Structure 1
Amino acid sequence: MFGRRRREETPVAAAEEVAQAPARDSGPWDSGEPHPERERVDLGGLRVPVGPGFEIQLNLAGDRIVGAVVLAEESALQVQAFAAPKRNGIWDEVRAELAAAVKSAGGTAEERQGPFGTELAAKVPGEGGPQPVRYLGIDGPRWFLRAAVSGRAALDADAAGILEDVVRDIVVVRGDEPMPPHESIELRLPPEARQAMDRQAEAGKPDLNPFERGPEIAELR
């Protein structure tokens, strides 16, 4: 019953095993892999899910969009996507840099296990005293997604649930162009927002910005 298999059966068995391997049931997703269809805001390099109970803003550096911010009641989720090497991730490196930056600013940071693997639980200096922030990192194929959870969700698991589900449903669009590791993947306004701004400009009205500037949380590339 547990005897040695014949050599000629091995390739067939291996092929059957690959064919029967279950697909992942949650993301973040790469745009090139199968993923659930749902309503998402198309920001170019990121497609961020939308739904009741939260709103999406843009994180800006001057006129450049560098990330998205999801607001849910007393909590915020900041997400940014970066290029990464093909064969190895960069979360270990980025996590160490983040911890050093927080500590040099007078805060605290320690590693712990979370729903996406190792994360960084930090307290960063802010108005009214230290502010709790959870830093999450997910290494994907040639990309890296960094998320920062702040506010109530940084401490309350129930409040964190809706924002963690947003992370699980994000789609990263890396593109095929060569990019150095750690370079931010380009984001842009969704088509409908650009069209609205063009109409406003043609009408001679002030620029329409459908997204407000999101919170800046320990910006580190």
Structure 2
Amino acid sequence: MAETSAPMRASGPWDADEPHPEHDRIDLGGLRLPHNPDFDVRLASMGDQHIGVVALYEDSSLQLQALAAPRSMSLWDEVKTKILQQSPSLEERQGPFGVELSGEIASEGTTRPARYLGIDGPRWFLLAVIYGKAAMDEEVAAPFVDFVRDVVVVRGAEPMAREEPITLRRPSDQTAEATEGPGLNPFKRGPEISEIR
């Protein structure tokens, strides 16, 4: 497998401008996701903007959101503090991407396991949140962690406010406006992208 230049790290998440393994990914504009046929991948929207991705697998889920970050500093420490203010029962621990948060969070009148992974990149920050059984079980979490390791973040050169979501689009939106309905699967095999609002 010849590549123009070899990646400088063993795994990502990757910045679009750095050398990274070249293989077929789902292009959502601000994020390029690896194909995992076992995952049900959906776009999460706020108003008319796609701001994140949810990947469902068995009884667990992974939420991904990429945010603009200042060139000079990382955002994870700041974001981590905000998360701990809302869910003080979470505990810090070392994970595959450095310090992460894990434990039980209150959600819709009940509690559920959650694991927060924060990855600082060049002018971007990627927040990955694993919910369900995978938040507490490393073996169950492995497919999600591998998925995050192969994500490519496309920050773009335009000025963005700090912590502004890096906008995503459906794979079919490259030339046309988003349309609702089935049959929007431009890639050979892999998840169909649906929306969550």
Could you say which residue in structure 2 is the equivalent of 1:211? 194
Deviation at 1:129, TM superposition (A): 3.1
Change beyond 3 A, Cα 1:22–1:147: closer
Match of 2:31 among 46, 50, 58: 46
Could you say which residue in structure 2 is the equivalent of 1:126? 107
Q: Is the 8 A contact 2:7 2:21 kept in 1?
A: no
User: What TM-score does the superposition give when structure 1 sets the normalisation length?
Assistant: 0.76
Q: Gaps (5+ residues) in structure 1?
A: 1-20, 199-206, 215-221
Could you say which residue in structure 2 is the equivalent of 1:92? 77
CA RMSD of aligned residues (A): 2.2
Cα separation, 2, equivalents of 1:102 and 1:173:
30
Cα separation, 1, equivalents of 2:44 and 2:178:
18
User: What TM-score does the superposition give when structure 2 sets the normalisation length?
Assistant: 0.85
Q: Percent identity?
A: 50
- Paired residues in the alignment total 182
Residues 120-174 of structure 1: CA distance to partner in whole angstroms, max 9, x if unpaired? Answer: 1131113573101000000000000001000110011111000000000000000
Could you say which residue in structure 2 is the equivalent of 1:55? 40
Greater C-alpha radius of gyration: 1
Deviation at 1:98, TM superposition (A): 0.8
Deviation at 1:70, TM superposition (A): 0.9
Match of 2:14 among 29, 38, 61: 29
Determine helix, strand or coil for the equivalent of 1:24.
Answer: coil
Higher relative helix content: 1
Higher relative strand content: 2
Q: Which has the higher contact order (CA 8 A, sep 6+)?
A: 2
Q: Gaps (5+ residues) in structure 2?
A: 1-5, 183-192
Cα separation, 2, equivalents of 1:169 and 1:178:
26
